[in-house]
Chain A
């Protein structure tokens, strides 16, 4: 079994009900950008230097208890589909997957993944299901300390952690929440919310990060500023806004359910109907209808304990996942057929949609 197959087969927080599942916030992520002192950044380094950087970083990571029995994946040794699966799981970025000299070291439980030779030498990432800003931060902090113990990191007293891009210098910290906002989208308020967040220094992006569309009403909200604010202040700022957005989302949902009444329930029931009988499902159609099912679980229209299955289908309905599960390359129709079959099978014993209780 290849490592990527192993990752697909393993139960983890985001696809199985192992961690705390929550309405609205799908996951919390912390990313720290770090670089080795005295080595050129990956984008400017020559091939042998990138090899040296990769070897030193992977060796240091591999020795940490956090990565015991984990995975070391070198992008140059993986096929296109395996790399696409890792991107769809947010374990590596598109940028890392596109190059040959990058590597990813991933913990057994898939909550920690460190990208080596992306834009910076090291990109430490920690992801927890649900809203756990402090807990996620503490894991990242410990990893950072452990790495700083074995590697000399590029740091300046005045500018903090030195990074390839001026947008990351200082703390190198990008804290984010993946939020599901069907209420605000249906009510037509998302542009307004997005603008308010932008004005206060937060970025709003789609499901797969920079430059992607917000399929399934899922957005990633993160801090922009990394310099001149302490980690504590960055987390507090993001945390305050996420709490606010979650509140707004609940208000929008309740208002919609109340104002629309039967129409609200009808919309959710239609999505369940289509997902349960469709023979061909495109990935964006599946995402948008699964978003309705997740909303139904949050609102008491479906039993809450079904929500983790909806989350799993959102991740596993993505193109590379569908093909990896099928064990073969599929054309667009083939993927849509296969996706529809997987979704039909998963939803066959789902109960009917009932009026909201939340």
Chain B
């Protein structure tokens, strides 16, 4: 006799079985009564999350050196253990992030006073493009301003 299917979120016996077709690919989620009622059955984010979790391996293969959290814990909880877990599980979570968020990199704000290198580089690229445009348009005043900004950004990047 086959084993009963377990809930993707809490390991109870699953009684609710869902299938979803995205871009021609069928994904399945199995939930117990309680998790399904908690909204798991209707929330698309949970659906995608659960889907990614069910494809994980059964024995822990990754452990966060900082807090001891494992990939098995993530399967059970759907939440990480500490900020450092993002480094440990970053690669493993890449596919899940793309599914839930459709993007893999941050482009928004940073804590005050810590403009990170990624953002500095993006700003530098933009400033260089703007300077070329300003020169082409013979707006030398703007070009001079941008030249100073570029020098400043390059200096900041060099010191990081």
- Residues on A lying within 8 angstroms of B by beta carbon are 35, 37-41, 43-44, 119, 141, 144-145, 148-149, 153-162, 164-167, 169-171, 173, 198, 201, 210-211, 224-231
Taking CB atoms, residues of chain B closer than 8 Å to A166 are: 49, 80, 93, 96-97, 100-101
Tell me if A158 and B118 are in contact (CB < 8 A): yes
Taking CB atoms, residues of chain B closer than 8 Å to A231 are: 108-109
**Bound-state Cα–Cα, A227 to B87, Å:** 16
Taking CB atoms, residues of chain A closer than 8 Å to B69 are: 40, 44
Tell me if B83 and A227 are in contact (CB < 8 A): no
Taking CB atoms, residues of chain B closer than 8 Å to A39 are: 82-83
Rounded to whole Å, the gap between the CB of A305 and the closest CB of chain B is 38
6 pairs of residues in contact across A and B, judged by CB atoms under 8 Å: A35-B83, A41-B79, A149-B112, A167-B49, A167-B100, A167-B101
Given A41-B81, A165-B79, A224-B45; A158-B105 close (CB under 8 Å) = yes
Tell me if A169 and B101 are in contact (CB < 8 A): yes
B102 in the interface (beta carbon within 8 A): yes
Taking CB atoms, residues of chain B closer than 8 Å to A224 are: 45
B22 in the interface (beta carbon within 8 A): no
Taking CB atoms, residues of chain A closer than 8 Å to B80 are: 41, 44, 164-166
The range of chain B's interface size is 35 or more
Question: B98-155: which residues lie under 8 A (CB-CB) from chain A?
Answer: 100-114, 116-119
B77 in the interface (beta carbon within 8 A): yes
Tell me if A155 and B105 are in contact (CB < 8 A): no
Rounded to whole Å, the gap between the CB of A209 and the closest CB of chain B is 10
**Bound-state Cα–Cα, A52 to B102, Å:** 35
B23 in the interface (beta carbon within 8 A): no
Given A38-B83, A165-B78; A225-B93 close (CB under 8 Å) = no
Tell me if A160 and B108 are in contact (CB < 8 A): yes
Rounded to whole Å, the gap between the CB of A133 and the closest CB of chain B is 16
Rounded to whole Å, the gap between the CB of B141 and the closest CB of chain A is 27
Q: Which residue of B lies closest to A35 (CB)?
A: B83
Tell me if B108 and A44 are in contact (CB < 8 A): no
Given A225-B102, A229-B107, 19 additional A-B pairs, CB 8 A: A39-B82, A40-B67, A40-B69, A44-B69, A44-B73, A44-B81, A154-B83, A155-B110, A157-B117, A159-B105, A159-B106, A166-B101, A169-B97, A211-B39, A224-B45, A225-B101, A227-B97, A227-B106, A229-B103
**Bound-state Cα–Cα, A39 to B69, Å:** 13
Find the residue from B77, B78, B79, B103 having the highest chain A CB count within 10 A: B79
Tell me if A229 and B108 are in contact (CB < 8 A): yes
Question: B7-32: which residues lie under 8 A (CB-CB) from chain A?
Answer: none
Taking CB atoms, residues of chain B closer than 8 Å to A157 are: 106, 116-119
Tell me if A170 and B79 are in contact (CB < 8 A): no
Tell me if A228 and B110 are in contact (CB < 8 A): no
- Checking A38, A145, A171 against B106 with a beta-carbon cut-off of 8 angstroms, the contacting residue is A171
Tell me if B114 and A155 are in contact (CB < 8 A): yes
Tell me if A228 and B103 are in contact (CB < 8 A): yes
Taking CB atoms, residues of chain A closer than 8 Å to B73 are: 44
Tell me if B102 and A44 are in contact (CB < 8 A): no
Q: Which residue of A lies closest to B45 (CB)?
A: A167
- Checking A40, A148, A167 against B82 with a beta-carbon cut-off of 8 angstroms, the contacting residue is A40
**Bound-state Cα–Cα, A154 to B66, Å:** 14
